[in-house]
């Protein structure tokens, strides 16, 4: 079997691998005559859109040109709501343990900031540790709970102020 024909058969067998538009030049069937055929393939799954195969034959020449067409998807760019990770006071854990746990679970916190969070938590009963998107806030909260700390998450819109202080919820006092 001719190599060009094998490549064409492969391209037809796996249309979802790459969207392409090859030009295949096969040996000429009659002298001085060039035959051109265009085939359209529908997209059968993955790969961006239908592909067009164009064959033309010319004596002694066999080339394949692959043009990739990329399909851009429109995505709704709605800003995701911020969530706060809130640490609640308990009378069980020492400051040192809480500082270690905060730094371990939330890698961006340094010991100074963790200490400040401990002081606010101890004084007011709760403090905002960080703000993040919901999935990340849940991971932080579960990590802190695995360390034995009492933590929760709440949407940003339920809080007033800039978030640096005690993590106060709205006036109803709920979280």
Structure confidence by residue, pLDDT tens digits, 3-26: 666 666 666 666 555 444 444 444
DSSP tag of 79:
P
Indicate the average pLDDT of the chain: 73
pLDDT digits (tens, 9 = 90+) for 92-147: 999 999 999 999 999 999 999 999 999 999 999 999 999 999 999 999 999 999 99
Residue 58 structure tokens: 């010319």
Q: Which two tokens stand for residue 165?
A: 């202080």
Distance CA 19, CA 73 (A): 15
């Amino acid at each position: 079997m001719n190599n060009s024909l094998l490549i064409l058969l492969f391209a037809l067998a796996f249309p979802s691998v790459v969207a392409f538009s090859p030009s295949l030049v096969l040996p000429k069937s009659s002298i001085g005559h060039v035959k051109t055929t265009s085939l359209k393939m529908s997209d059968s799954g993955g790969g961006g859109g239908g592909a067009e195969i164009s064959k033309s034959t010319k004596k002694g020449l066999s080339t394949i040109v692959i043009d990739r067409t990329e399909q851009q998807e429109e995505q709704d760019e709605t800003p995701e709501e911020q969530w706060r990770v809130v640490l609640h006071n308990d009378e069980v854990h020492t400051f040192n343990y809480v500082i270690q746990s905060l730094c371990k679970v939330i890698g961006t916190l340094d010991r100074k900031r963790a200490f400040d969070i401990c002081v606010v938590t101890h004084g007011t009963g709760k403090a905002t540790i960080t703000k993040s998107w919901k999935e990340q806030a849940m991971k932080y909260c579960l990590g802190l709970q695995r360390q034995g700390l009492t933590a929760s998450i709440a949407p940003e819109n339920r809080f007033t102020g800039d978030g640096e202080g005690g993590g106060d919820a709205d006036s109803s006092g709920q979280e």
